[in-house]
Chain A
Amino acid sequence: MNESYDVVIVGAGPAGISAACILADAGIKTMVIERGEYAGSKNTSGGVLYGYNLAQILPDFVARGCPIERNIVESRIWYLSKEAGLSIGYRDSIFANERKNNVFTVGRAKFDRWFAEQAKKKGALIVASTVVVDLLKDASGKVTGVVTNRQDGEVQAKVVLLADGVNSPLAAKTGFRPELKPEHVALAVKETIELPSEVIEQRFGVSAADGVTTEVLGEVTGGMDGVSIIYTNKNSISISVGANLAQFAKTKMKPYEMLEAYKLHPMVAPLIAGGKPIEYTAHWLAEGGFYTIPQLAGNGYLIAGDSAMLFNALHREGSNLAMASGKMAAEAIIAALKKNDVSKQSLSSYSKAMSESFVLKDMNKYRGFPGFLYNTHQLFDELPHVAQFAAREMLTVDGVTKKHKQKLIMDEVKKKIGLLNLAKIAWRGWRSVK
């Protein structure tokens, strides 16, 4: 027996499920295949989601019981040396009121499961515990379906949407995406630390429904291009450190040791004190940026989300790019099926919509950023050190004139980095994001 569907979606992450919701709403016979035991069982996002993008798919997501952990009212950025840190934060009551749920944390295992449930309610068929191992193609090379790891496991489809995430053996096998290079992914380890909700509220100064995100750069990644995050959930704190895979390979540093050291940092330790680690996960992030985005549509197929390397490292946006791309892919599919033409040319309306949207515009704007981080190790060793030196000098009241302190700081900058180098870094950094 052979199954036949209008659309088969590989992967029940934010990209795949967004597409499934839009397709099912349009009455298109859609199957989503997910290798995990259920949608979300394989997912370990740090857990920030964006209400704007979710509302584009499900305007009534709150009423549908979206499992929101905390509504984010404050964003902090830290720049850390080994034993000190610089902190900036922005809190705004608008995020607790008019713009509530613009940014919120979720547990991805719970969220993805709920999201898939909504697609199912709309009529999409979600098949879990099943791995897509290959694509079916006709003589001309046009994709005509998928092959799964189950017996009698072929499914015919008019269109296949690849939404299978960053670690996609399928993409490598089909050649639709060039094989990933280690420098194009970051390896992140994450720990979820359980704490009573009142303790979290007290430590972060928030009310019961609200929370704080903290993005961290600096010496935590031991000179490697990487970031770390601290997110508040209802009864837990997510804390994660990641760095470029190629640099992990070169430095032979161990991710878990990095995380352990990070947890002892004087800025971090008090926030998680007394907490109980309840989950430990590791995952890749698609950090190659604009230059690694593959061709988004071909004959009979499209690629969305992380699988298409859509991740904005600077703003830690991935899930929203996944949702937006999934939606645009679904809209292109609907148009193509209407015309009864699923050729590359017809499906390319997806690439066009993407180019005109924030997704590719942002990716393009920051195209130099991954390279800048990757090539500027000073950001993760000398610079945080110098920042610490400067702040310590200025904040220590010891009768030394401020003028002399400034000179000491300049000497340190010259010694550690060099003024010209510092200017270059600033210039390149600015160029990479302007």
Chain B
Amino acid sequence: MQIVCCVKQVPDTTQVKIDPATNTLVRAGVESICNPYDLVAVEAAVKITEKYGGSVSVITMGIPSAEVQLRECLSLGAHQAILVSDRALAGADTLATSYTLASAIQKLNEIDPVQIVMCGKQAIDGDTAQTGPGIATRLGFTQLTYVSQIIGLDIQKQTITVRREIENASQIIEAKLPVMLTVELELGAARYATLPGLIKAIKHEIKVWGAKELSCTAEKCGLKGSPTSVKTIFAPPPRKGGPVYDTTEGMDQAVNSLLDTLFQKEAAIMSEILSNDSKVKNA
């Protein structure tokens, strides 16, 4: 059983700013990190192989420096790493990205059957959450998004059971392998690599695949295969403060109106949860 984790090199968004003049991200001088959701996916994948056997491959499409993030994943216990990097693949939107990644997974599948693909819920820079589902669609895998817990695998039956988050509730779902999961942070933080793990990761030889190795269609890759065009990027206006309850007109009145607001909000949330629950039960 091979598990493939797709990981993305992202700018440390705590440092990224938007240039108000050009409306583009100012990435200069900003350190790159591994998309935090993807680290969680790698950790979960390694745990699965520790319990059920198999191997974890990590794959990223990006510039050569993304090697650093691949090594980080290797240090956490991934068994091999593939860097998909080629000028012909640059400028990809989510459509082209998921096509290219799916091609790479296909190639891995020819060597060792891929039963699970794992992606982060979303990338903290692009934030579309489209890449995972895009890959699943192309591969014809069942997709389970927003997974917050892996309950277990049944190797005999070739199934996986997970908990996935939906608005105000969660579902427990059993699905037939192969599957594509996108994961939530709740799945569990990545471990602190052991020293031998870290050393192995530093020494590991990373495979680099280009468009040729993937035998993908040029029209579907990179800028050519990307119909998305960015109209504008802008920083959302800063949030307005919450309501203010003026105590100068009497403490009692302020507290009462605060409670009123709270109860109204809470009631709305509760009724939504109840209706969702019944929907799930009926389904």
Partners in one complex: yes
Interface, chain A (partner B; CB < 8 A)? 1, 3, 125-127, 129-130, 148, 150-155
For A1, A126, A148, A154, the residue with the greatest tally of chain B CB atoms inside 10 Å of its CB is A1
- Given A152-B196, A153-B195, A155-B195, 8 more pairs with CB closer than 8 A: A1-B196, A125-B199, A127-B199, A127-B202, A130-B198, A150-B195, A152-B195, A153-B194
User: 26 pairs across A/B with beta carbons < 8 Å?
Assistant: A1-B196, A3-B196, A125-B199, A125-B202, A126-B202, A127-B195, A127-B198, A127-B199, A127-B202, A129-B198, A130-B195, A130-B198, A148-B195, A150-B192, A150-B193, A150-B194, A150-B195, A151-B192, A151-B194, A151-B195, A152-B194, A152-B195, A152-B196, A153-B194, A153-B195, A155-B195
In the assembled complex, B203 has its CB within 8 A of some CB on chain A: yes
Which 7 A-B pairs rank lowest in CB-CB distance, beginning with the nearest? A150-B195, A151-B194, A153-B195, A1-B196, A152-B194, A152-B196, A152-B195
Q: Which residues of A contact B193 (CB under 8 A)?
A: 150
B265 to chain A, nearest CB (A): 42
B25 to chain A, nearest CB (A): 18
Assembly CA distance A3 to B203 (angstroms): 13
Quick check: B195 and A3 within 8 Å, CB to CB?
yes
Q: Which residues of A contact B195 (CB under 8 A)?
A: 3, 127, 130, 148, 150-155
Q: Which residues of A contact B194 (CB under 8 A)?
A: 150-153
Q: Which residues of B contact A127 (CB under 8 A)?
A: 195, 198-199, 202
Assembly CA distance A125 to B71 (angstroms): 14
Quick check: B192 and A3 within 8 Å, CB to CB?
no
Q: Which residues of A contact B199 (CB under 8 A)?
A: 3, 125, 127
Q: Which residues of B contact A154 (CB under 8 A)?
A: 195
B74 to chain A, nearest CB (A): 14
Identity of the chain A residue whose Cβ is nearest the Cβ of B191 in the assembled complex: A151
Assembly CA distance A125 to B203 (angstroms): 8
Assembly CA distance A126 to B198 (angstroms): 11
Q: Which residues of B contact A150 (CB under 8 A)?
A: 192-195, 198
Q: Which residues of A contact B203 (CB under 8 A)?
A: 125
Assembly CA distance A130 to B198 (angstroms): 9
Q: Which residues of B contact A151 (CB under 8 A)?
A: 192, 194-195
Identity of the chain B residue whose Cβ is nearest the Cβ of A148 in the assembled complex: B195
Identity of the chain B residue whose Cβ is nearest the Cβ of A153 in the assembled complex: B195
Identity of the chain B residue whose Cβ is nearest the Cβ of A2 in the assembled complex: B196
A151 to chain B, nearest CB (A): 4
Assembly CA distance A148 to B199 (angstroms): 13
A204 to chain B, nearest CB (A): 23
Assembly CA distance A154 to B195 (angstroms): 8
A33 to chain B, nearest CB (A): 9
Assembly CA distance A129 to B203 (angstroms): 16
For B192, B193, B198, the residue with the greatest tally of chain A CB atoms inside 10 Å of its CB is B198
Assembly CA distance A154 to B194 (angstroms): 10
Tell me which residues from 164 to 203 in chain B have a Cβ below 8 Å from any Cβ of chain A: 192-196, 198-199, 202-203
Identity of the chain B residue whose Cβ is nearest the Cβ of A151 in the assembled complex: B194
Q: Which residues of B contact A148 (CB under 8 A)?
A: 195
B238 to chain A, nearest CB (A): 21
Assembly CA distance A153 to B198 (angstroms): 10
Identity of the chain B residue whose Cβ is nearest the Cβ of A155 in the assembled complex: B195
Q: Which residues of A contact B198 (CB under 8 A)?
A: 127, 129-130, 150
Residue interface bits B221-260, CB-to-A below 8 A is 1, else 0: 0000000000000000000000000000000000000000
Assembly CA distance A152 to B77 (angstroms): 14
Q: Which residues of B contact A153 (CB under 8 A)?
A: 194-195
Assembly CA distance A354 to B198 (angstroms): 35
Q: Which residues of A contact B196 (CB under 8 A)?
A: 1, 3, 152
Assembly CA distance A3 to B198 (angstroms): 11
Q: Which residues of B contact A152 (CB under 8 A)?
A: 194-196
Assembly CA distance A155 to B203 (angstroms): 16
A236 to chain B, nearest CB (A): 11
Assembly CA distance A80 to B94 (angstroms): 60
Identity of the chain B residue whose Cβ is nearest the Cβ of A154 in the assembled complex: B195
Assembly CA distance A360 to B198 (angstroms): 38
Identity of the chain A residue whose Cβ is nearest the Cβ of B75 in the assembled complex: A129
Tell me which residues from 45 to 77 in chain B have a Cβ below 8 Å from any Cβ of chain A: none
Q: Which residues of B contact A125 (CB under 8 A)?
A: 199, 202-203
Assembly CA distance A26 to B194 (angstroms): 29
Tell me which residues from 195 to 224 in chain B have a Cβ below 8 Å from any Cβ of chain A: 195-196, 198-199, 202-203
B77 to chain A, nearest CB (A): 12
A36 to chain B, nearest CB (A): 12
Assembly CA distance A3 to B200 (angstroms): 11
Assembly CA distance A402 to B109 (angstroms): 94
Assembly CA distance A40 to B271 (angstroms): 55
Assembly CA distance A148 to B196 (angstroms): 11
B26 to chain A, nearest CB (A): 13
Assembly CA distance A114 to B202 (angstroms): 17
Assembly CA distance A67 to B203 (angstroms): 26
B88 to chain A, nearest CB (A): 27
A1 to chain B, nearest CB (A): 5
For B192, B193, B195, B203, the residue with the greatest tally of chain A CB atoms inside 10 Å of its CB is B195
Assembly CA distance A391 to B229 (angstroms): 67
Q: Which residues of B contact A3 (CB under 8 A)?
A: 195-196, 199
A433 to chain B, nearest CB (A): 41
Identity of the chain A residue whose Cβ is nearest the Cβ of B201 in the assembled complex: A127
Tell me which residues from 92 to 124 in chain B have a Cβ below 8 Å from any Cβ of chain A: none
Assembly CA distance A3 to B197 (angstroms): 11
Tell me which residues from 123 to 163 in chain B have a Cβ below 8 Å from any Cβ of chain A: none
Assembly CA distance A155 to B198 (angstroms): 13
Assembly CA distance A127 to B201 (angstroms): 10
B72 to chain A, nearest CB (A): 9
Assembly CA distance A258 to B195 (angstroms): 43
Assembly CA distance A94 to B195 (angstroms): 49
Q: Which residues of B contact A155 (CB under 8 A)?
A: 195
A97 to chain B, nearest CB (A): 32
Q: Which residues of B contact A1 (CB under 8 A)?
A: 196
B105 to chain A, nearest CB (A): 30
B90 to chain A, nearest CB (A): 24
Assembly CA distance A3 to B193 (angstroms): 15
Assembly CA distance A151 to B199 (angstroms): 12
A393 to chain B, nearest CB (A): 49
Assembly CA distance A3 to B194 (angstroms): 12
